Copies of this chain bind each other. A is one copy, B any other.
Amino acid sequence: MSNVRYHYDVIVIGAGHAGTEAAAASARLGARTALLTTNLDTVGQMSCNPAIGGVAKGQIVREVDALGGLMGQAIDATGIQFRLLNVRKGPAMHSPRAQADKRGYQQHIKLAIESQAGLDLRQETVDDLITVEETDPDAIERGVRHRVVGVKVRGDAEYLAPTVVLTTGTFLQAIMHTGMSTTAGGRAGEGTTQGISGALGRLGFEIDRFKTGTPPRLNAKTIDFAALDVQPGDAVPNPFSFMSGKLDVQQMPCHLTYTNENVHQLIRDNLDRAPMYSGRIESRGPRYCPSIEDKIVRFADKSEHQLFLEPEGRQTHEVYVNGISTSLPRDVQDQMFPLIAGCEKAQIMRYGYAVEYDFCPPTQLWPHLETKTVAGLFFAGQINGTTGYEEAAGQGLIAGLNAARLVAGQSTWVPSRDQAYIGVLVDDLVTAGTDEPYRMFTSRAEFRLLLRQDNADRRLTPIANELGLIDSPRRQRFDDKKKQIEHAMDLLKKIRVDGTPGDVYLRRSEVDWDVMRGVAPELSAIDDEAAQQCLYDIKYEGYITRQKADVEKQRRHADKKIPASFDYLSIDALRIEAKEKLNRVRPVSLDQAKRISGITPADLALVLAHLENRS
């Protein structure tokens, strides 16, 4: 037993994207919180791509922000290029994405953590979990076997708390691969942690292995950008945080290049030396973030793949090559770039590698991310089999807030699938689990039109306010916006255009806000944010109602039979993953389909719609 003990309400292990949000949320709720992490210089570090957001992920960031989290303000303060993706599609698909100044982002998150009252950030390596046998008969009845009481850290000390949130990312028993060479470690240049995996095994958790990869980094000074297409940021950058006003930012361009037949041939010739294909790595990687060797095998007919050259920050010439994640041996990486336009003389600064790591299948968790068998122990982030900073942040926030609520004797809170992508995320994880690194997609959500990036605050900030997650400036700002929207709606209902009420007139497809303002100048006083909300509320009212009805129907039709001949592949809107899985399992009923790992309510809604079309 150690002679040094520290007492907290909530202990968070690991200050990555999950851990920082977990700790901040817990402390905001008034729980005395310790955030313990191996190296204070890597708090909030981006292990891989220097970007936040993207399709469906951007929505999560907006939700994290609406709930008072850190990620949105951090990227707004340190972004170097902002783009709203899918602007030509409907608003449900609009997704903010930004390139970050990687180091600046990391420093911003660290400073936010250091500034949070009630939160102690300490450089500590956690070596073990401390648990006791569960004795409460009610808990045992629910399947609980142990109860966490704290953690042991290196240097013979203990942190004691009734709740512990584990967010160690890719660091559990991690092995990095570059070709046939392997090194222990969760991120190049750093170590691995074994003690915790041992503890998880001892506590009876099922542990599985996944892999992920990262591309090489090049020195910008050695790239011929003149030969390449430029991808600039949006003229008017869209902020992630509902607290950010207009962003005043000098944006940096990205550049585009492509692989080609020569590159593909080189890779094909060396596939036997790729750890994945040589059988050295058997664990599964992220299907939607495939390595270049995966892409070349899986999409054998494609003659080129797009590569984005993304600057890693303002203070560095390092360039992230998005699209060419690889664990091929270094000599293949060396030979690859001379074949790629603009990169003929590119100098590799860091080689790409793959990392294999332990994760705990998330079906072992309650929706609020507490483990089912160890009371008080929460898991969040990549340890749950997800991938991505945003997915980690969303889970972190949920775990942190529920850990704090548990300590305070309050009930758990988790957003539902129609409230937030974060709700979809935790529901998918804990009900269906995942057999490959899970990332968010809009197609995983059946209430896409409700879960827009633009209305995340309207969906979640009032709840966050009740939970005590937000501060008064945010409350004030939200209330002001709400009043503006109500005022605008009133105005719209009052005014008449050709005798038609404004809100009815606005439904017409050819009428947008500019048109409205032209015919009703009194609308000019309405600010853009409020105008946008009115516009979407009115324009999409019908769709939203229908979407809700569809899912209701699906719930009712759970026992609906699926004919053996049913052709999943012909359902265009169905995710590739869902197509493959349904086609393989060929479930006899919707109910059976629902229980297939990775099949979401959104997939079921599509299948049901097609079943009904057939009949």
Q: Write out the residue numbers on chain B whose beta carbons fall within 8 Å of the beta carbon of A117.
A: 221
Instruction: Indicate if the CB atoms of A115 and B3 lie closer than 8 Å.
Output: no
Known: A154-B181, A155-B179. A121 touches B188 (CB 8 A): no
Instruction: Indicate if the CB atoms of A111 and B181 lie closer than 8 Å.
Output: no
Q: Does A183 contact B (CB under 8 A)?
A: yes
Instruction: Indicate if the CB atoms of B4 and A318 lie closer than 8 Å.
Output: no
Q: Does A52 contact B (CB under 8 A)?
A: no
Known: A114-B317, A157-B330, A316-B114. A190 touches B39 (CB 8 A): yes
Q: Write out the residue numbers on chain B whose beta carbons fall within 8 Å of the beta carbon of A111.
A: 315-317
Q: Write out the residue numbers on chain B whose beta carbons fall within 8 Å of the beta carbon of A221.
A: 114-115, 117
Nearest CB of chain B from residue A122's CB, rounded to whole Å? 6
22 A–B pairs (Cβ distance < 8 Å), ordered by A = A4-B334, A39-B188, A39-B189, A40-B189, A40-B217, A41-B42, A103-B103, A110-B315, A110-B316, A114-B316, A115-B317, A121-B219, A121-B349, A122-B349, A123-B188, A123-B351, A125-B183, A155-B183, A155-B330, A157-B330, A189-B190, A190-B190
Nearest CB of chain B from residue A323's CB, rounded to whole Å? 20
Instruction: Indicate if the CB atoms of B155 and A331 lie closer than 8 Å.
Output: no
Q: Does A304 contact B (CB under 8 A)?
A: no
Tell me how many chains of this kind the complex includes: 2
Considering the chains assembled together, what is the distance between the CA atoms of A107 and B313 in angstroms?
10
Q: Does A178 contact B (CB under 8 A)?
A: yes
Q: On chain A, which size bracket covers the interface? A: 35 or more
Q: Which of A41, A181, A348 has the largest number of chain B CB atoms within 10 A?
A: A41
- In the complex, what residue of chain B is closest to A41 when comparing beta carbons? B189
Q: Does A347 contact B (CB under 8 A)?
A: yes
Q: Write out the residue numbers on chain B whose beta carbons fall within 8 Å of the beta carbon of A3.
A: 331
Apart from A3-B331, A107-B316, A155-B179, what are 17 other A-B pairs with CB-CB below 8 Å?
Answer: A38-B189, A40-B217, A40-B350, A41-B189, A103-B103, A103-B107, A110-B315, A114-B219, A114-B349, A122-B348, A123-B188, A123-B189, A155-B178, A155-B181, A155-B351, A156-B180, A191-B191
Q: Does A108 contact B (CB under 8 A)?
A: yes
Nearest CB of chain B from residue A42's CB, rounded to whole Å? 7
Nearest CB of chain B from residue A220's CB, rounded to whole Å? 8
Q: Write out the residue numbers on chain B whose beta carbons fall within 8 Å of the beta carbon of A315.
A: 107-108, 110-111
**Which A residues are closer than 8 A to B by beta carbons?**
3-4, 38-42, 103, 107-108, 110-111, 114-115, 117, 120-123, 125, 154-157, 178-181, 183, 188-191, 217, 219-221, 315-318, 329-331, 334, 347-351
Q: Write out the residue numbers on chain B whose beta carbons fall within 8 Å of the beta carbon of A188.
A: 39, 123
Q: Write out the residue numbers on chain B whose beta carbons fall within 8 Å of the beta carbon of A329.
A: 4
Nearest CB of chain B from residue A457's CB, rounded to whole Å? 28
Nearest CB of chain B from residue A102's CB, rounded to whole Å? 9
Q: Write out the residue numbers on chain B whose beta carbons fall within 8 Å of the beta carbon of A179.
A: 155-156
Considering the chains assembled together, what is the distance between the CA atoms of A315 and B105 in angstroms?
11
Q: Write out the residue numbers on chain B whose beta carbons fall within 8 Å of the beta carbon of A178.
A: 155
Considering the chains assembled together, what is the distance between the CA atoms of A219 and B41 in angstroms?
14
Considering the chains assembled together, what is the distance between the CA atoms of A220 and B115 in angstroms?
9
Known: A103-B107, A154-B181, A181-B154. A123 touches B190 (CB 8 A): no
